[in-house]
Amino acid sequence: MRFLFISYNFSPEKTGIGKYNGEWAEWLVDKGHSVDVITSYPYYPEWKVHEDYKGKIGYMVERKERFNVFRCPMYIPKGKGGFGRLLSDFSFAATSFFAFLGAILLNKRYDVVVAVSPSMLNGILPTILKRTTGTAFVYHIQDLQLDAAVELGLIKNKMLEKILLYIEKFQLKSSSVVSSISERMRQKIVEKGVSPDNYFMLENWVDTEFIKPGPVEKILELKAELGIPLDRRIILYSGNLGIKQGIEILIDIAGLLKSEEDWLFVVCGDGMAREGLIAEAKRTDLKNILFCPLQSYQRLPQLLQMADIHLIPQKKAAADLVLPSKLSGILSIGGVVIACAEENTELYNIIRQNNIGYTVEPENPSALARTIRHVMKSDTLVVGQNAREFAIKRFGKDLVLSRFGELVYNLVNFREMKGR
């Protein structure tokens, strides 16, 4: 089958949606399918074009060994405001149209087009293709972008909100199948008018054969390279430093636990909030927090394995609008996670019901500090073992993507049978 992906995130982005899209495309090619991708220049999580692509303007076609990548120019916002994000989304919607035409002219016909949200506007072009040629349209929602923007106060104009809600509804209704990454997201999508029969669960996966416990020597090497004293116990946050993560709490809890001289907070990642965090840590003279650059995927197992505790902070307003993608990697390494999750949210239920970590009320530094103290003094061996087993059974890469392969096979066959 021939697949066309549309998303402004793609490899070589190391984290988030771009990482998953890249692995998804590679998996399909491994299974013998043909894949083309319409995307932007890599910019995430730094929110600036990656060094290898700086200075490039206009459109660019990367003819990789196994698929084609059509890169489009896109406005990249400099701040955290909603207007900049909207401008970014609309700019990609406009520029990707011409790449879309080029891909269609070059390849004539696709069996399946996959649009990944965000951006919530990415479903417009697949809708056109579906209505003109009957191509199957899978609308995969990684993040309920509009809901999150409204809840976080990034969109305040009611007329704009209504327009965006109409666009969202139009795309959802036009798709052959809508997929997302969590049960609570499924519930919200069905509430938006999508039939349960047209929904498919496609959780963020993890390569459990790669992200697994390994030799201690490799961990010691990474610690030495990052300047981490070997006798320190590590409390790790690794990933995007952005607005939905509520990562400002890291400064608060580092301050509350600064008397614990053998504990070190390690913040490994990039994003819009990084410089502000570093400045605040310096202003408050925190000696127990270390900022590291985002590490390569090849070093991820060692980075995750060196942590005694993994933190997943979240804002209350973002609950159930997105399931943190970093969770599957933490579980796969057998890590001990403390997640900021309100009672009865999906993240809370997954962790509590399966005994794979700990939860604490979001945006409550005192409660999080108390939980860290408790976990540091507890025997967490069983929790770590449960986490690893759960990751294999629930988030295994081949397990998840094989279900997707079966879905699109049925979609395409059904379309061909109707055409006869």
Q: What is the DSSP letter of 22?
A: H
Do 79 and 195 belong to one domain? yes
Is residue 210 assigned to a domain? no
| Rounded distance between C-alpha atoms, residue 4 and residue 114, angstroms | 6
Name the DSSP class of 213: -
Q: What is the largest CA-CA distance in the chain?
A: 73
In this structure, the answer to whether residues 246 and 184 fall within a common structural domain is no
Distance CA 244, CA 257 (A): 24
CA distances from 94 to 40, 57, 87, 287, 295 (A): 12, 15, 11, 47, 33
The predicted-structure confidence for 133-180, as pLDDT tens digits, reads as follows 889 999 999 988 888 777 777 777 788 889 889 999 999 999 999 999
| Per-residue tokens: 156 | 């305040």
CB 226 within 8 A of CB 317: no
Q: What pLDDT, on a 0 to 100 scale, did the predictor assign at position 243?
A: 63
Same domain (yes/no): 271, 302: yes
The token pair that represents 143 in the structure block = 């993040």
Whole-number pLDDT of residue 65: 73
Q: Which two tokens stand for residue 4?
A: 């066309």
Q: pLDDT: is 413 or 43 the higher one?
A: 43
* Residue 410 sits in the same domain as residue 391: no
Q: Give the pLDDT of residue 394.
A: 94
Quote the number of domains for the chain: 2
Helix locations, 284-364, DSSP H: 300-305, 326-332, 346-354
Domain of residue 58 covers 2-205+396-419
Is the Cβ–Cβ distance between 118 and 89 less than 8 Å? yes
Reading the block at residue 37, the tokens are: 């991708």
136-141 and 112-117: which strand pairing? parallel
Residues 195 and 230 in one domain: no
| Burial class of residue 119, CB neighbours in 10 A (0-12, 13-18, 19+) | buried
The confidence score (pLDDT) of residue 96 equals 95
pLDDT, tens only, 193-214 = 999 999 999 999 999 999 999 9
Torsions phi, psi for 154 (to 5 deg) = -80, -25
H or E element at residue 146: helix 145-151
The confidence score (pLDDT) of residue 82 equals: 67
Query: Are 166 and 282 in the same domain?
Result: no
379 and 403 share one domain: no
| pLDDT at residue 26 greater than cutoff 70 | yes
For position 420, what pLDDT does the model report?
Answer: 40
* Position 316 confidence tier, pLDDT thresholds 50, 70, 90: confident
| Contacts for 193 with CB less than 8 Å, ≥ 6 apart | 169, 172, 173
Task: State mean pLDDT over 347-355.
Answer: 94
Do 111 and 255 fall into the same domain? no
Q: Exposed/middle/buried for 240, CB within 10 Å: 0-12, 13-18, 19+?
A: buried
Do 345 and 289 share a domain, yes or no? yes
Residues 6+ apart with CB under 8 A from 224: 230
* CB of 335 closer than 8 Å to CB of 384: yes
Bigger pLDDT: 263 or 297? 263
Q: Residue 394's closest CA among 326, 320, 332?
A: 332
- Judgement on whether residues 16 and 116 belong to the same structural domain of the protein: yes
For residues 261-266, give the mean pLDDT.
96
Q: What is the pLDDT of residues 218-235, one digit of tens each?
A: 999 999 999 999 989 999
Nearest to 118 by CA among 93, 99, 151: 93
Residue 401 is predicted with a pLDDT of 96
* Residue 251 maps to a domain: yes
Tell me what the pLDDT averaged over the chain comes to: 90
pLDDT tens string 70-123 = 999 999 987 656 678 888 999 999 999 999 988 888 777 899 999 999 998 999
In a domain, 211, yes or no: no
Is the pLDDT reported for residue 416 higher than 70? Answer: no
Which segments of 192-305 does DSSP mark as H helices, in order? Answer: 216-226, 249-256, 274-283, 300-305
Alpha-carbon span 212 to 25, nearest angstrom: 23
Domain membership flag for residue 340:
yes
- Both 337 and 374 in one domain: the answer is yes
Q: What is the pTM of this model?
A: 0.87
155 DSSP assignment: -
Q: What is the CATH number of the domain that holds 181?
A: 3.40.50.2000
The pLDDT value recorded for residue 318 is 67
pLDDT tens track for 35-48: 999 999 999 988 89
The pLDDT of residue 67: 85
CA atoms within 13 A on the CB side of 104: 16
Same domain? 24 vs 82: yes
Residue 301 within any structural domain of the chain: yes
